[in-house]
Amino acid sequence: MTTAELDSLAEDFILSRGGTPAFKGYGSPDNPFPATLCTSVNEEVVHGIPGRRKLMEGDVISVDVGVLKGGWYGDAARTFAVGAVTPEVERLLRITEESLDRGIAAMGSGNRVHDISAAVQEHVEAAGFSVVRDLCGHGVGKDLHEEPSVPNFGKRGTGAALVEGMTLAIEPMVNTGVWQVNVLEDGWTVVTRDGKPSAHFEHTVALVNGKPEILTQ
C-alpha cells in the first residue's frame, strides 16, 4: 500500500464525519502542507508527505493526523510496524509509547510543563534511545498550535504551570541513535541525521478535575 492511499482513506473518513483535515494547507502560503496525514517512514521522524512510496515488510510508519471539528482541534499520532520488524525497532516503539504514557501521567494539578518533559526524557534515555530536541509538543484548542510548548526534555519543577482546562498535544519523538535531525528539501520532512529509525506517539490531553484526560484515545 502507498502512503498516498492511506492519506486518501483518512481524508474521506474525516470528511464523512463532518470534520476538516487540520494539516492540509497548513503552513506558509509559499509551501503549505499538501496532505491530510503526515506519514513518516523509518528514518523520517515527522511531517513526511504522503506519496507513491509503497510500505514494505519491516518498515515502521508514523501516522500523524489533526482534525478540526466544531471549532476545536485534535492532534494525535501512532507509529506502526509493517509486518515483522527487528527486536530493536520493536523496543523503540514500546519505549516511545511508554514515554508518552509517563508524560501524560505527569500532567497533574500543581505540576509544571517540564515535569511532563522530564518524565519522557528519563524513560527514553534510560533505555538507550534519544529524544528529538528540535521539535516539541504544544497547546491545542481553538488553534492547532498554541502555547505552551511541551518539549520532550527538561528539568522537573520548571516551565509553565499546569492549570485546570489546559489542553496539550504531548508527543514524544524518539530516535534509535542520535537526537539530531535534518529537514529535507521539501521543507517538511524531518529525518534522523544518522539515518536510523525513529518513532512518534501523540495524544491530545486535557487537564480535567486535576487529572489528565486523553481526548484522542
pLDDT tens digits along 4-35: 999 999 999 999 999 999 999 999 999 999 99
Instruction: Calculate mean pLDDT across residues 149-157.
Output: 98
Our count of domains for the chain comes to 1
- From residue 188, alpha-carbon distances to 38, 50, 55, 61 in Å are 10, 11, 20, 16
How far apart (Å, rounded) are the C-alpha atoms in residues 77 and 202? 5
- Residue 150's pLDDT band (cuts 50, 70, 90): very high
pLDDT score recorded for residue 9: 98
pLDDT score for 15: 98
Q: Measured between alpha carbons, how far is 92 from 79 in angstroms, rounded to an integer?
A: 10
Q: What's the pLDDT at 23?
A: 98
- Report the CATH number that the domain containing residue 21 is assigned in CATH: 3.90.230.10
> What's the whole-number mean pLDDT along residues 102-120?
97
pLDDT at res. 212: 98
pLDDT of residue 55: 98
Supply the range of the domain harboring residue 136: 3-214
pLDDT-derived band at 183 (thresholds 50, 70, 90) equals: very high
Cβ(96)–Cβ(174) below 8 Å: yes
| pLDDT at residue 214, as a whole number | 98
